[in-house]
Chains A and B, each alone.
Chain A
């Protein structure tokens, strides 16, 4: 016998994501979900971004990591509240895990912005809504411009693309035109920010974009 269903498989996750979204909305908290390959520069981007905004805004970070606390320790050095989630074997954060982290962080403070650093992976994290206001794609020039077309789900969902390690661009064959063309196909509206995290170059437009989102513009 055949039974026709046509329900979303991740309905349970989506319900948690909606719960997160409504909690964050009630507190007027912006949550962004940083996704990129291992080593793309997600933590370095956070470090550089925190330097620019942590004195004016109440910010915190949820660090997704399979096993270690290395990234959380880097963030802690910035004097910013951080909640570590170790996923064990899972290659992505899901909305239920993030719900616990939000609760944990929100006990004493209402934050303006919560950054989530997802597990380094271009595939799995893109499949899961965690209740974020925006998924942000982080791609470094050393990975190659073809990654946009090879992993289209993330790049089609992202509200912005950060191209990192720009100081190394001239050492690579990363074709910026091709990258932009492919990204525009998948995602006509999202802005592209070209940055170098270690030199803190090109970050001002990205920060302006974040704050505009925060202020609901």
Chain B
């Protein structure tokens, strides 16, 4: 349940934004993260409902977007992006078809954008 910590992080970030931008209600919170981050949208929303009561986030819905997975080809050194996670050993370079490719994931979790009033 690291989702609790993530939600706490979100609340801190959103409070800082609220001070600056003076909005009243947050409708949507968009998170972006890497392919390998284990984030359950359902769990995040459940945690938010319990933790955010009485704040501007009380009615907010969290949406998670996966950033495309970055790979590098060891044969031609070019980078490419993959939208869906495929089995590790099945990925080939779209430039030269080599199978000698390695993932270069971005494993950060970002607060992407807010929908507010």
**Residues in chain A within 8 A of chain B (CB atoms):** 1-13, 89-92, 94, 123-124, 127-128, 149, 151-153, 156-157, 181-182, 185-186, 188
Query: Residue A92 contacts which of B2, B21, B34 (CB distance < 8 angstroms)?
Result: B2
Q: Is B42 engaged at the interface, CB distance under 8 Å to the other chain?
A: no
| CB <8 Å contact, B13 and A7 | yes
The residues of B that contact A13 with a CB separation of less than 8 Å are 5, 9
Q: How large is the interface on B (under 10, 10 to 19, 20 to 34, 35 or more residues)?
A: 35 or more
| CB <8 Å contact, A182 and B113 | no
Q: How far is the CA of A45 from the CA of B9 in the complex (A)?
A: 33
Instruction: Name the CB-closest residue of B to A188.
Output: B102
The residues of A that contact B1 with a CB separation of less than 8 Å are 89-91, 124
The residues of B that contact A123 with a CB separation of less than 8 Å are 2, 38
Q: How far is the CA of A156 from the CA of B108 in the complex (A)?
A: 13
The residues of B that contact A89 with a CB separation of less than 8 Å are 1, 4
Query: Which 6 pairs of residues, A with B, have the shortest CB-CB distance?
Result: A124-B2, A153-B36, A9-B9, A3-B114, A9-B109, A185-B88
| CB <8 Å contact, A153 and B107 | yes
Query: Residue B13 contacts which of A5, A151, A156 (CB distance < 8 angstroms)?
Result: A5
| CB <8 Å contact, A149 and B114 | no
| CB <8 Å contact, A1 and B115 | yes
| CB <8 Å contact, B107 and A12 | no
Query: Residue B110 contacts which of A6, A181, A185 (CB distance < 8 angstroms)?
Result: A6
Q: How far is the CA of A151 from the CA of B36 in the complex (A)?
A: 8
| CB <8 Å contact, A153 and B112 | no
A-B contact pairs, 18 of them (CB 8 A): A1-B23, A2-B114, A3-B21, A4-B113, A5-B110, A8-B108, A10-B9, A11-B9, A13-B5, A92-B2, A124-B38, A128-B5, A153-B36, A153-B38, A156-B103, A185-B103, A186-B102, A186-B103
Distance to closest chain A CB from B63 (angstroms): 13
